[in-house]
Amino acid sequence: MFVIINLPKRSTGTDANVPLRGVEEQAFHVRDQFKIVEGRRFDPGKNEVIVGIGAARQFAGLDIGKTIKVGRYDWPVVGTFSAGGGTAESEIWTDATVLQGAYHRGDSFQSVYTKLSSPAAFDQFKDTLTTDPRVSVKVLRQTEYYADQSTAVTKLITTLGVMIAFLMAIGAVFGALNTMYSAVSTRTREIATLRALGFGSGAVLVSVMLESLVLAIMGGVVGATIAYVAFNGFETATMNFQSFSQVTFAFRVTRQLLVQGIVWATIIGLIGGLFPAVRASRLPIAAALREL
């Protein structure tokens, strides 16, 4: 059974929708990655709750020993649990029968989780249920269900991330251009001297490009390091527009993302160094030597 309750956020104190799920004893065995990390499970038949570690970090009043107000009753928090980083860590769990009674829902449920003997058994299981005229259900794999639940949030975060990254990339290109134009202008005499000694325009172009490339790679490595230290594992919460409740999640700065960031920094360095390098390679020797 799934209901929504209001709890204040720890950071702002403003109320937010938090999912409260009523489960039966089998829920602890169906979910392989479920683990009590502090306290204990709720006792069946009692109005006790256990809290996902994500919800416990984001919302006030969910520490063990405290109580939350649900309907007309106070519900003690007796434990916190992890679920392998899944959406369940954003939820509060209690005994389904007790929650049904508190909300006068009879014996109704919104969803049923089933652990199959193997992944290959899913199609047979689905066909059995969907062809049974006694029930009207939608059968999904758990991964498909959560993917559907998080579609809007994923699109929002991805769209904002791409837009911000694009704008920052444009700013970084102009920053690289400004840096390399300044480097070329301050080295006019050195470049002219090299050209007078016999170095061709190609050598000058390559040297400026290499300098821009090295600076870009160094900047990319520093930026990747800061991003990893500051944001890897950083937890926050946002609205799940499918259920209109808060979902907590943690950023993961993976090795692939770090490599992508450094590659993009390299590309930005190449673009930012190209025009200053072309300008340096075309610099008239006679005009430049007059500055000596």
- Among candidate residues 23, 48, 170, 205, the one with its CA nearest the CA of residue 100: 23
Q: 108 and 168 share a domain? A: no
Q: Give the domain-ending residue among 93, 115, 137.
A: 115
Tens digits of residue pLDDT in 120-134: 999 999 999 999 998
- The total number of structural domains in the chain stands at 2
Whether residue 176 is found in the same domain as residue 276: yes
132, part of any domain: no
Which residue, among 231, 286, 275, has the nearest Cα to 257 in the 3D structure? Answer: 231
Q: Kindly report, residue by residue over 20-67, the tens digit of the pLDDT.
A: 999 998 888 888 788 999 999 999 999 999 999 988 988 898 999 999
68 and 170, same structural domain? no
Quote the pLDDT of residue 240.
Answer: 65
Q: Has residue 135 been placed in a domain?
A: no
Q: Is the pLDDT of residue 237 over 70?
A: no
pLDDT digits over 173-214, tens only?
A: 999 899 888 888 887 778 777 777 788 888 888 888 998 999
Q: What local confidence, expressed as pLDDT, does residue 291 receive?
A: 57
Q: Which domain holds residue 49?
A: 2-115
**Does the predicted TM-score (pTM) go above 0.85?**
no
pLDDT bin (cut points 50, 70, 90) of residue 288 is: low
Task: Find, among 81, 88, 45, the residue nearest to 64 by Cα.
Answer: 81
Cβ atoms 278, 217 nearer than 8 A: no
Q: What is the CA radius of gyration of the chain?
A: 29
pLDDT tens for 134-168 read: 888 899 998 888 777 777 777 888 888 899 989 99
- The neighbour count for residue 97, using CB atoms within 10 Å, is 14
pLDDT tens for residues 69-120?
887 788 999 999 998 877 788 899 999 999 998 888 888 888 888 889 888 9
pLDDT on residue 246: 67
The terminus-to-terminus CA distance of the chain in angstroms comes to 83
Q: Is 225 among the domain residues?
A: yes
275 pLDDT more than 80: yes
